């Protein structure tokens, strides 16, 4: 009988570290990948003793900071036309509504949109490229980028590591039941974040429509 825990224990730790850093780095550049799921999975492996949690956290931070910086450089060079081109090719991820929501966040929070973007699925892929396209000073971007990367990657790793230790008392082996629960938790989290982003875009549309009506009413009526 095949056991998941036996297979997990056979995975080379170096491969786990590299994969976590790569997935998070590519996601941070602006390519939609499940960075959060990869980090949670690695944290669970760390709680099993298969990999070192400190190295998982460090690789995740490195991937986040380096990926965001590359995304910033790409956005600065390509500007807004880059997003318009991506929106036509990948409307599900870079459509006008997504871009408008991300721009509002930057206009409202400035450099802290980069920091908070690390914790929000929609902004995570936009933060670096959009900061570059909007010509945010790199030193401001870097401060928020590093802080967000350290707190998000480090905090998630620690939380999942200790949660895994607690759960391990009840699930003595990482069986197929634990795997199913982990997959369901990841899928539920992704669905909730997707619906929240859709609701946020709908609210912004309604707000824009209301502002437009108010603006029309405020125009002077000609004689």
CB neighbours (10 Å) of residue 122?
Answer: 21
pLDDT value of residue 34: 81
How far is residue 78's CA from residue 87's CA, in Å, rounded to a whole number? 14
pLDDT value of residue 37: 84
The Cα-based distances of 80 to 4, 68, 131, 147 in angstroms read: 46, 17, 11, 26
pLDDT value of residue 180: 58
pLDDT averages per 10-residue partition of the chain, 223 residues: 50 87 88 83 84 93 93 84 67 65 76 83 77 86 92 89 72 51 59 61 61 52 45
pLDDT value of residue 56: 93
CA dihedral sign, ordered 184, 190, 194, 199: positive
pLDDT value of residue 1: 42
CA–CA–CA angle 203, 206, 207 (5° rounding): 85
- Give pTM, 2 decimals: 0.67
How far is residue 179's CA from residue 199's CA, in Å, rounded to a whole number? 30
Q: What is the largest CA-CA distance in the chain?
A: 86
pLDDT value of residue 151: 92
The Cα-based distances of 106 to 125, 154, 172, 180, 207 in angstroms read: 13, 24, 46, 37, 17
pLDDT value of residue 222: 46
């Amino acid at each position: 009988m095949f056991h998941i825990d036996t297979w997990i224990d056979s995975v080379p730790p170096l491969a786990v570290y590299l994969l976590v850093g790569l997935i998070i780095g590519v996601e941070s550049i602006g390519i939609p990948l499940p960075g959060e799921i990869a980090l949670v999975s690695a944290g669970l492996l760390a709680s099993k003793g298969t990999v070192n949690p400190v190295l998982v956290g460090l690789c995740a931070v490195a991937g986040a900071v380096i990926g965001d910086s590359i995304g910033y450089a790409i956005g600065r060079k390509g500007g807004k036309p880059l997003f318009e081109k991506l929106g036509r090719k990948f409307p599900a991820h870079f459509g006008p509504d997504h871009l408008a929501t991300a721009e509002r966040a930057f206009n409202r929070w400035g450099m802290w949109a980069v920091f908070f973007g690390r914790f929000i699925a929609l902004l995570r892929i936009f933060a670096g490229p959009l900061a570059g396209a909007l010509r945010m000073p790199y030193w401001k971007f870097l401060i928020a980028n590093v802080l967000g990367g350290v707190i998000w990657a480090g905090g998630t790793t620690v939380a999942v590591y200790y949660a895994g230790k607690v759960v391990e008392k009840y699930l003595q082996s990482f069986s197929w039941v634990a795997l199913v629960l982990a997959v369901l938790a990841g899928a539920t989290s992704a669905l909730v974040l997707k619906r929240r982003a859709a609701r946020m875009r709908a609210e912004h549309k309604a707000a824009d429509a209301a502002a437009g009506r108010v603006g029309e009413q405020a125009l002077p009526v000609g004689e």
